[in-house]
Amino acid sequence: MLYGRSAEISAIDQVIARAREGSGGAAVLRGEAGAGKTALLDAACERAGGMRVLRTTGVESESDLAFAALHQVLWPVTGSLGALPEPQRLAVGAALGLAAGGTGDRFLVAAGVLSLLAEAAAPDGLVCVVDDFQWVDRASADALLFAARRLGTERVAMLLAVRGDAPVKGVPLTVDVRGLAEPAAAELLESRHGALPVRVRRELVTLTGANPLALGEIAARLTPAQLAGREPLPDPLPGGARLFGDRVAALSAPASLAALIATAETDLTTILHATTHLLPTPTPPVPHPDAPLASYSLPADRTSAPRGAVGPEGGEEAGPVAADPADGARRAVAELEEVGLVEVVGAGVRFRHPLVRSAVHEAAAPAEIRRVHAVLAELTADDRRAWHLAGAAMGQDERVAAELVAAAGRARDRGGYGAAATALARAAELTPGPRDRAVRLKDAAVAAWLGGRPGQADSLLAEARERAGADAVLAMEIARLRGRFELNSGNAAEAVRILAAGDSLDMLADAVEAASYVGDTAAMVELGRRATAHPEGFLRDTVAGIGLTLDGDPAGPALLRRALARSGELEDAAGYLWATAAASQLGEPDLAGEMTDRAGRVARVSGMAGQLPVVLEFVATAERLAGRLARSQAISEEGLELAREAGYTNTVAAHLANLAVLAALRGEQESCERQAREALAIAVPHRVGLRAGVAAYAPALLDLCLGRYAAANDRFAAIAAAGPGAGHPAVVWRMTPDRVEAAVGAGDEAGALAALEAYERWAEHAATPESRALLARCRGLAGAGEDAFGEALRLHTNPFEAARTALLLGERLRRGQRPGEARAHLRTAWETFERAGARPWARRAQEELRAAGESGQAPPAAVLDALTPQELRIAGLVADGLSSKQIAAQLFLSPRTVEYHLYKIYPKLGIGSRTDLARLVVLQKAPVTGDGMI
């Protein structure tokens, strides 16, 4: 019976009702121990009304076992695994211990959990309930929260109960479960103890904070006279902070032993076996020679006695002894049930409340706890055995440490990086050898990093560095990791310094990557020179070629072309990104776009252990440069969410910066300025000049789009003057056509000519038509005349940039009193900008077209404009021939979510099949182009 919880029940009912209608969501029930969260979850399950219910409870003793909670909650629905996309099915199957062959990618596991919940929800919906979420193992918690944030189109309600301030990231709805209002508290007390005097009731409410558990437990310990107000309430109230301490102290020795075992294991059979093993074997007393035979047997009522009872010899009894230890174990567990401290549910034992477990654990001596773990280690296997051995260890023990390392490996293979980090860190504590300890701390740091916990990773790596001693090889491995951590979420300039100290090709490549993010051209040149000392190969040729090309060495482009000739041998996303860098350095945007696209496709299905957000930086940029703004928006939104979940701070800045530029192109001033500020707040202090430059470029581009030429010119000049870490050469080069246009519009002829001269130097070796087209447009703006614009239009391969050139030429023709010639160019520009969603330029082209004498009838809308970014991505993958399962695998969705979006897409576009959708997409899809990666 619930008292005074109508508001909380109403909030829960709303979450369940929305899920039943197909708009799933999650809620966190947050409150102190005993506030009534479990009772609310019980009520939620009862009110599910025909919906399927999955339920589990976090157990503190299992919080280090990867996917322990996920196994419990998903076990009833594993029969639906076959409906999942293969990468997700393999990942979830491996995580649950049902199959081998998982990729170890936690994002794939989490996406699979979402898909499995969606499948299990058919047809009537599903309520997923997790109590004591603060004790759920990290791998399970990450997967469940990933799913919780993506339930919007599923018939799934997820309710997570958590104690106190334990963090639950990304679930917006929180139901605070506080103490009861006084009328509800009075009703609760009256239901159990009858009507109490107002003074007694109010004093109980005040002293307990109206916590339902405290009210019930403490009132039950009061005498009738105290409850009636005839005697004062005791000070302090009975039960104390832990409430259950007195009941634990009153247990018999076997029951106390069984309770202690239950703090470390939940399986009933294991608890009974361990209790049987640890109970003392009875030694029959030697009777007096004249005593009757019955003296050899214990009376039936002597099977138990309170722990600490004084025996006939004046000392403490060894404890209650049953004639059969197995029977004694059963009686011990039964006693725990009878006094209300545990519940036996199926094959498991759980404490009535987590505070019972705390009280039992605190009452035990350290030696008792170690003895229990030692016995449990003999009764369990694999991960459980490893952790019990660790619990039984005194001091350092290599044998136990090795068991934990093996457990960490199993967790890592299944995608449980948080559990692997914990196991490796504990293994390091138990490791006698300093070098082995440092290696295990290093490995723990990597696992923590891949688990999305950069703070823990930094701490572990710092300790590993301290313990590495004089081992130069290990010190360099640790240094490389430090550099990678800095590059992803710290100071990119510091990453260059750390990584440049290494001599291996991998460290030199990492250092070049870091220097490219900073914008430190000199460092890239020097590192490229050093890379030439290594044997030939794809990575060596790429790294050396970039540095030599930047230095003006003619050997550089030859090395880059030799590296690209080997691109057919590439298999991973990292390789394709290096190929992208090589093609971009050569000025071949078409090939760079192709390599970026391949990197994105591989990353989505290859199990990159969380590196997908980084890859999506480049994919989103390529889509923006091609003028596919909606697709770029969708990819950056996805990448931003994944980067935040992974803890990749600098990647967060990258996606925010790209979103700011997209907002500028759409004329959305508030969004542009806000996202640019957020990106700069990360990128500038972290010295990520590439992302700082893009973020600064966004408001400058917004001014240009809105015709604020003077302001745009000033902003572009400031970006060009910014040094490494605050600006970036690639950004300056890529924005120069915009800078020339702003300078001309502002009447800054000298500024326009200076920018053009710099652009001519940068483009000296460019061989692609698009690069020459942009140069011709800049020359036309700077005074070369209409022929330069005409040349640009002939050369353009990027329709979006061609539209910008057509607009500029159309404006010049119209103002030169040649409206007839201007109209065709202006109409083409208007249609392209409308189709791309670049509203400021579309309005500008429309106004010019009207001034040129055309009525201004709107061009036919691109039918795909009706789609949301998510729908647009799904439509594009349908056009590529992918099935719903394959699309789900690439986008980390459930197949049912893909089908849901298709159900929405068809009526929007007035079509009825995948074939029709593919035809529309192909008709409106522009080629991937672009001449840079800013």
Element (H, E) at 504: none
**Cβ neighbours around 176 below 10 Å, total:** 12
Is the bond preceding residue 236 a cis peptide, omega within 30 degrees? Answer: yes
Sign of CA dihedral 751, 756, 757, 758: positive
Helices (H), 532-648: 538-550, 555-564, 573-585, 589-605, 612-625, 629-646
Rounded distance between C-alpha atoms, residue 160 and residue 56, angstroms: 10
The per-residue pLDDT for 239 is 65
Rounded distance between C-alpha atoms, residue 620 and residue 607, angstroms: 20
**Identity of the amino acid at 849:** L
**Nearest to residue 455, comparing CAs of 646, 725, 683, 684?**
646
Q: What is the CA radius of gyration of the chain?
A: 34
Rounded distance between C-alpha atoms, residue 490 and residue 474, angstroms: 22
Fold exhibited by the domain 470-569? 1.25.40
Does residue 758 have a pLDDT over 50?
Answer: yes
The per-residue pLDDT for 252 is 94
The ranges assigned to domains in the chain are: 6-176, 182-240, 247-282+321-463, 470-569, 864-924
Pairing mode, if any, of strands 342-345 and 348-351?
Answer: antiparallel
Rounded distance between C-alpha atoms, residue 73 and residue 67, angstroms: 10
Rounded distance between C-alpha atoms, residue 512 and residue 577, angstroms: 13
The per-residue pLDDT for 600 is 85
Query: For 536-558, how does the pLDDT look when each residue is reduced to its tens digit (9 = 90+)?
Result: 999 999 999 999 999 989 999 99
Rounded distance between C-alpha atoms, residue 538 and residue 531, angstroms: 12
The per-residue pLDDT for 119 is 94
Query: For 515-533, how does the pLDDT look when each residue is reduced to its tens digit (9 = 90+)?
Result: 999 999 999 999 999 999 9
- Three-state DSSP at 774 gives helix
Helices (H), 490-520: 492-499, 505-518
The per-residue pLDDT for 246 is 83
CATH of domain 6-176: 3.40.50.300
Whole-number Cα distances in Å, 172 to 6, 29, 145, 481: 21, 11, 11, 34
Query: For 254-276, how does the pLDDT look when each residue is reduced to its tens digit (9 = 90+)?
Result: 999 999 999 999 999 999 999 99
Does residue 504 have a pLDDT over 50?
Answer: yes
* Chain center to CA of 172: 15
The per-residue pLDDT for 167 is 82
Burial of residue 677, with CB atoms counted within 10 A of its CB: 0-12 exposed, 13-18 middle, 19 or more buried = middle
- Three-state DSSP at 126 gives strand
Mean pLDDT of the 472-490 span? 94
The per-residue pLDDT for 296 is 30
Higher pLDDT among residues 410 and 862, named by residue:
410
- Three-state DSSP at 52 gives strand
Mean pLDDT of the 200-215 span? 88
Mean pLDDT of the 726-750 span? 92
Rounded distance between C-alpha atoms, residue 453 and residue 417, angstroms: 10
Query: For 673-704, how does the pLDDT look when each residue is reduced to its tens digit (9 = 90+)?
Result: 999 999 999 999 999 999 999 999 999 999 99
Burial of residue 338, with CB atoms counted within 10 A of its CB: 0-12 exposed, 13-18 middle, 19 or more buried = exposed
Element (H, E) at 27: strand 25-31
**Cβ neighbours around 882 below 10 Å, total:** 18
Rounded distance between C-alpha atoms, residue 233 and residue 197, angstroms: 12
Does residue 321 have a pLDDT over 80?
Answer: no
Lowest mean pLDDT of 18-27, 400-409, 438-447, 602-611, name the range. Answer: 602-611
The per-residue pLDDT for 739 is 96
Is the bond preceding residue 312 a cis peptide, omega within 30 degrees? Answer: no
**Nearest to residue 708, comparing CAs of 814, 803, 797, 840?**
840
Query: For 784-828, how does the pLDDT look when each residue is reduced to its tens digit (9 = 90+)?
Result: 888 999 999 999 988 899 999 999 999 999 998 899 999 999 999
Does residue 867 have a pLDDT over 60?
Answer: yes
Mean pLDDT of the 283-303 span? 40
Mean pLDDT of the 325-333 span? 88
Percent of the chain with pLDDT over 90: 59
Percent of the chain with pLDDT over 70: 91
**Nearest to residue 761, comparing CAs of 778, 780, 781?**
778
Find the length of the chain. Answer: 934
Mean pLDDT of the 612-621 span? 90
- Torsion from C-alpha of 183, 189, 190, 193, nearest 10 degrees: -170
Higher pLDDT among residues 353 and 155, named by residue:
155
Sign of CA dihedral 110, 114, 120, 126: positive
Burial of residue 94, with CB atoms counted within 10 A of its CB: 0-12 exposed, 13-18 middle, 19 or more buried = buried
Please, are residues 430 and 399 in contact by the beta-carbon 8 Å criterion? no
- Three-state DSSP at 680 gives helix
Mean pLDDT of the chain: 87
Higher pLDDT among residues 606 and 175, named by residue:
175
Whole-number Cα distances in Å, 274 to 250, 265, 329, 379: 21, 10, 9, 8
Higher pLDDT among residues 132 and 602, named by residue:
132
Phi/psi for 723 (5° steps) reads -90, -175
**Nearest to residue 443, comparing CAs of 404, 470, 471?**
404
The per-residue pLDDT for 924 is 63
Fold exhibited by the domain 864-924? Arc Repressor Mutant, subunit A (1.10.10)
Does residue 606 have a pLDDT over 70?
Answer: no
**Nearest to residue 457, comparing CAs of 577, 678, 610, 248?**
610
The per-residue pLDDT for 128 is 97
Does residue 287 have a pLDDT over 80?
Answer: no
- Torsion from C-alpha of 18, 20, 21, 24, nearest 10 degrees: 50
Please, are residues 547 and 556 in contact by the beta-carbon 8 Å criterion? yes
User: Roughly how many angstroms between the first and final C-alpha of the chain, as a whole number?
Assistant: 61
- Three-state DSSP at 56 gives strand
The per-residue pLDDT for 861 is 57
Buried b (16+ CB within 10 A) or exposed e, 796-813: bbbbbbbbbbbbbbbbbb
Please, are residues 429 and 464 in contact by the beta-carbon 8 Å criterion? no
Mean pLDDT of the 470-485 span? 93
